[in-house]
C-alpha cells in the first residue's frame, strides 16, 4: 500500500520505502542513510530542510500525528525494518520493556566477560557500571 504524506511531499509505502517527484516530474525512490544511532533517515526540504527518521514518517503517514510524549517502537527491534506492521506507538517505558529489547540488554550484560571481582573493583570507581563493547558500540554493563 502507498500513501501520500502532504507535510513532507513524499509518497510512503507500508513496507518503509519513500518516494518523491524530481524536477522533471518523475517518481524516484528517496535515498535512505543511517543516523549515528542506527535509524534510517531521509532529508526533506518541505516545509523546511530537515532530517527525519523513516520509521516515524511511515507511522505518521498511515496513522496520523504521533502524540506528544510517545515514541515509535520497532516491535522486532530491527531499526532497518520500517514496515508498518512492525511499528507501534507507545511510551518510552513501554518501548524499553519490549521483550526482545530486554533480552538483548540482558545478553549484553551477560556477555561482558568481566569477572565479578573486577566488577566490584570498578563499581567503586564508576558507581556500579563499566563499559563493554556490543556490536562495536560502547555500552554500560551493570
44-67 tens-digit pLDDT: 987 789 999 999 999 999 999 999
Give CA–CA dist 63/60, Å, rounded: 5
Q: What is the pLDDT of residue 91?
A: 94
pTM (2 d.p.):
0.72
* Whether residue 110 has pLDDT greater than 80: no
Identity of the highest mean pLDDT range in 29-33, 95-99, 120-124: 29-33
- The label of the residue with cell 568481566 reads 114
Give whole-number Cα distances, 75 to 83, 111, 122, in Å: 10, 23, 34
- Looking at per-residue confidence, does 138 or 22 come out higher? 22
Phi, psi of 85 (to 5 degrees): -70, -15
Give CA–CA dist 3/44, Å, rounded: 17
The residues pairing with 140 across neighbouring beta strands, listed in sequence order, are 131
**Residue partners of 125: CB distance under 8 A and separation at least 6:** none
Give whole-number Cα distances, 67 to 1, 25, 27, 42, 60, in Å: 24, 34, 31, 22, 10
Mean pLDDT of 82-87: 97
Q: What is the pLDDT of residue 47?
A: 77
DSSP single-letter state for residue 125: H
* Residues 22-37: tens digit of each pLDDT: 999 999 999 999 999 8
Q: What is the pLDDT of residue 85?
A: 97
Q: What is the pLDDT of residue 98?
A: 80
DSSP single-letter state for residue 19: E
* Whether residue 119 has pLDDT greater than 80: no
Amino acid at each position: 500500500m502507498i500513501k501520500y504524506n502532504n507535510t513532507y511531499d513524499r509518497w510512503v509505502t507500508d513496507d518503509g520505502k519513500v518516494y518523491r517527484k524530481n524536477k522533471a516530474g518523475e517518481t524516484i525512490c528517496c535515498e535512505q542513510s543511517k543516523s549515528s544511532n542506527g535509524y534510517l533517515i531521509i532529508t526533506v526540504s518541505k516545509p523546511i530542510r530537515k532530517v527525519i527518521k523513516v520509521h516515524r514518517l511511515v507511522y505518521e503517514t498511515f496513522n496520523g500525528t504521533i502524540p506528544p510524549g510517545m515514541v515509535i517502537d520497532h516491535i522486532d527491534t530491527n531499526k532497518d525494518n520500517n514496515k508498518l506492521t512492525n511499528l507501534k506507538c507507545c511510551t518510552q517505558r513501554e518501548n524499553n520493556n519490549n521483550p526482545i529489547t530486554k533480552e538483548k540488554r540482558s545478553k549484553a550484560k551477560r556477555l561482558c566477560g568481566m569477572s565479578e571481582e573486577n566488577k566490584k573493583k570498578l563499581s567503586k570507581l564508576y558507581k556500579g557500571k563499566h563499559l563493554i563493547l556490543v556490536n562495536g558500540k560502547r555500552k554500560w554493563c551493570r
